[in-house]
Structure 1
Amino acid sequence: MTAPVIELRSATKRFRSGSGGVHTAVQSLSMTVRPGEFVAVVGPTGCGKSTTLSLVSGLEPPSEGQALVRGENVSGIPEGVGYMFQNDAVMPWRTVLDNVAAGPRFRGASKAEARKRAEIWVDKVGLGKFGGYYPHQLSGGMRKRVALAQTLVNEPEILLMDEPFSALDVQTRALMQDELLRLWSGTGAAVIFVTHDLDEAIALADKVVVMTASPATVKATFEVGLDRPRNVEEIRMTREFQDVYREIWQSLKEEVDKTRERSSAGV
């Protein structure tokens, strides 16, 4: 098998709390992602899913254990990592085209080369006619397409996505999920996709990782044996999808219930 491009080895992350105590966000967390593999991470609210991405991206170092990219300990942001956040990172004073060109320019591309690459990706995400528009002139779904183009224009080997579609309405969200699969297919990029939506996780991923209630660790990992290419709306109707959903939900529900009980008890 291909060596993992991402690996967490018994990684623990602690933060200093506002009261002066210590909060453990993730504990003894181990997982691997291979090139071209799409891994979705699900778990109860506040369990530390986003912290997992921070460890891989180098935004936060582990307090214990290791975070490795391409077999090397992560120190700083590794080369070839694209990060798509829940909130858009578009710059309101720049046009769609200039927003997408900013990444290549930052990485040393000439103005002409950056613009050429941006034009290709703006067209790929279906915004070819809107290159001169500003973010305030776009719908929420269109802004997400800009954010996706911003991320993919740099051809990342690793794609980290932190609930990127959660603010969208149901129909637009499904369109963006299909768009992501279309654009990711064949790139060979390894993906970690954090979501609260189990439907979304199964529809997109090769593998779903279920996290425990806080402090989070990996409770279980499920293979999603659904054929590709996928249409996310159609695949949800299949018996195979429903079977996978029931299996994973049994594991996830226990952790969601634990979080609710703690919240009710004021813990």
Structure 2
Amino acid sequence: MTDDPVISLRSATKRFRGATGIHTAVHDLTLDVRPGEFLAVVGPTGCGKSTTLSLVSGLEPASAGEVLVRGAPVRGIPAGVGYMFQQDAILPWRSVLDNVAAGPRWRGAAKAEARERARGWVRRVGLGGFEGYYPHQLSGGMRKRVALAQTLVNEPEMLLMDEPFSALDVQTRGLMQDELLRLWAGTGAAVIFVTHDLEEAISLADRVIVMTTAPATVKASFDIPLSRPRNVEEVRLTAAFLDIYREVWDSLREEVARSRAQGTGQGVDHAA
């Protein structure tokens, strides 16, 4: 990884006008993400984690401060960004193959080329043989694999992920976490991964940032010195993981308590 960030937020603030006045979602938010870095973002419910992704993706403009991608101000959706939402964006009337091929087609690829690229990614996410299936014929985990292939087929330089596995059962979620690490390894893509699950954040990331109760800003940043490649189930049983978990949780629990006291959210998943 180089020292030059691919994503930078400089004192970024986002305000929304609501029925009761102006709501500040994030305030004076400053952070950098380097090429190839996997950054996980945790914080209390409603603190502005998803808003941060919206600023980076260009879906929302900053009210103040700067949001930079490759050193240039974000004025729209930057090239090279892949976004994986909590709810998948699979089109129900298209097959698995055509859902994955849609991205390359929208970017100008010929139909045959787009389908060939899609076929390769369908196999890579473990759905070989299901190319002709439709979304209603797939399990929740299989749909997430399609959504992952949809995102990665375009070879994004930046991958924004907003609680992508939160709706899955525990076993399927673990499998998808391992699958994500396997597919991301060696791509050089920078990842910002928003989650309420502190175990998930530490298992996946190179670095975890803790955000404050809304209006959110960065409270603390923790490097995760766990070697790669990782098996997420195995790494969670190690003494090193538990030590890191306790350190991050000591920072995070103050914000969770403050959020609950203010009635703004339910905090985060805490299982260790």
Q: Hey, what does 1:10 align to over in structure 2?
A: 11
Counterpart residue identity of residue 153, structure 2: V
Q: Hey, what does 1:153 align to over in structure 2?
A: 153
Secondary structure (helix, strand or coil) at the match of 1:226 reads coil
Unaligned runs of 5+ in 2: 265-272
Question: What aligned pairs does 1:212-223 form with structure 2 within 5 A after superposition?
Answer: 212-223=212-223
Q: Hey, what does 1:233 align to over in structure 2?
A: 233
Query: Whole-Å Cα distance in 2 between the matches of residues 96 and 10 of structure 1?
Result: 41
Q: Hey, what does 1:202 align to over in structure 2?
A: 202
Identity over aligned pairs, percent: 75
Q: Hey, what does 2:134 align to over in structure 1?
A: 134
TM-score normalised to structure 2 length: 0.96
CA deviation profile, 1:48-102 (whole Å, cap 9, x unmatched): 0000000000001110000000000001000000000000100000000000000
Equivalent pairs counted in the alignment come to 263
Query: Whole-Å Cα distance in 2 between the matches of residues 31 and 179 of structure 1?
Result: 27
Counterpart residue identity of residue 16, structure 2: F
Query: Whole-Å Cα distance in 2 between the matches of residues 38 and 82 of structure 1?
Result: 14
Query: Whole-Å Cα distance in 2 between the matches of residues 54 and 66 of structure 1?
Result: 13
Query: Whole-Å Cα distance in 2 between the matches of residues 9 and 128 of structure 1?
Result: 43
Unaligned runs of 5+ in 1: none
Question: What aligned pairs does 1:1-267 form with structure 2 within 5 A after superposition?
Answer: 1-19=2-20, 21-263=21-263
Query: Whole-Å Cα distance in 2 between the matches of residues 243 and 135 of structure 1?
Result: 41
Query: Whole-Å Cα distance in 1 between the matches of residues 17 and 202 of structure 2?
Result: 34
Secondary structure (helix, strand or coil) at the match of 1:128 reads coil
Query: Whole-Å Cα distance in 1 between the matches of residues 155 and 65 of structure 2?
Result: 29
Secondary structure (helix, strand or coil) at the match of 1:130 reads coil
Secondary structure (helix, strand or coil) at the match of 2:263 reads helix
Structure 1 position 192, deviation (Å): 0.1
CA deviation profile, 1:200-252 (whole Å, cap 9, x unmatched): 00000000000000100000000000000000000000000000000000000
Query: Whole-Å Cα distance in 2 between the matches of residues 73 and 10 of structure 1?
Result: 13
Q: Hey, what does 2:267 align to over in structure 1?
A: none
Query: Whole-Å Cα distance in 1 between the matches of residues 156 and 263 of structure 2?
Result: 39
Secondary structure (helix, strand or coil) at the match of 1:221 reads strand
Which consecutive segments of 4 or more residues in structure 1 shift more than 2 A? none
Counterpart residue identity of residue 100, structure 2: V
TM-score normalised to structure 1 length: 0.98
